[in-house]
Structure 1
Amino acid sequence: MHRLYLEKYENEVFQALQRGEDAKPKVTYDFYNRSFVLNQNISFGSPRSDTCHTCDRLQNLMLAELDPESKKALQTEKELHIRKSEMFYRKLKEVTALSKED
């Protein structure tokens, strides 16, 4: 967002930074970030958990599906997908632990 601010309001500084030149903007990133945190209570960061594309797709299809049989088939497919992913991560942990020992 700070980059968008620079591009719109301090275009000369933005262009200089894009070229790799040393330029000092009027509003620094730290000031911009502090303003958002204190005034708007907006935080920056990554989400704590994430879902895969397949899980999201199946969930959206289930929500939109009206036919109970189709909905049940989608739910079964999602459960199978989740079980496969759990088995993968369990195997990954085992292999990681084994590689640390070996």
Structure 2
Amino acid sequence: MIASLVLAAALSNSAPAKADPDLLIPASQPREAVAILNCLVTDDGHLTACTVEGESSPELGVGDAALKMASQFQVDLLGPDGKSRAGSYIQVPVRIRIR
């Protein structure tokens, strides 16, 4: 407990780190960006052959980021109509919160 208080005091007394100006997002930029992917559903529910159908802020690279994450997504094989989605293309909205 005392060690954590000492550490907290040491951190609060240190000079603030300077942020890289290239990494700062101006206040006028959106706080959330959306990309719409069009992906093929595999037999096990994973997504493949994805393309970016649209994105709210192309200059932020949200579409590229969504494409990089898509291989880790998995969807329910049964669609809302009760039919299998395997072998079909679906649209996948990806929201990325920017802080």
Confirm or deny a common fold (TM above 0.5): no
The structure where helix makes up a greater share of residues is 1
User: Under a length normalisation based on structure 1, what TM-score does the superposition of the two structures give?
Assistant: 0.21
Bigger CA radius of gyration:
1
The structure where strand makes up a greater share of residues is 2
Q: Which has the higher contact order (CA 8 A, sep 6+)?
A: 2
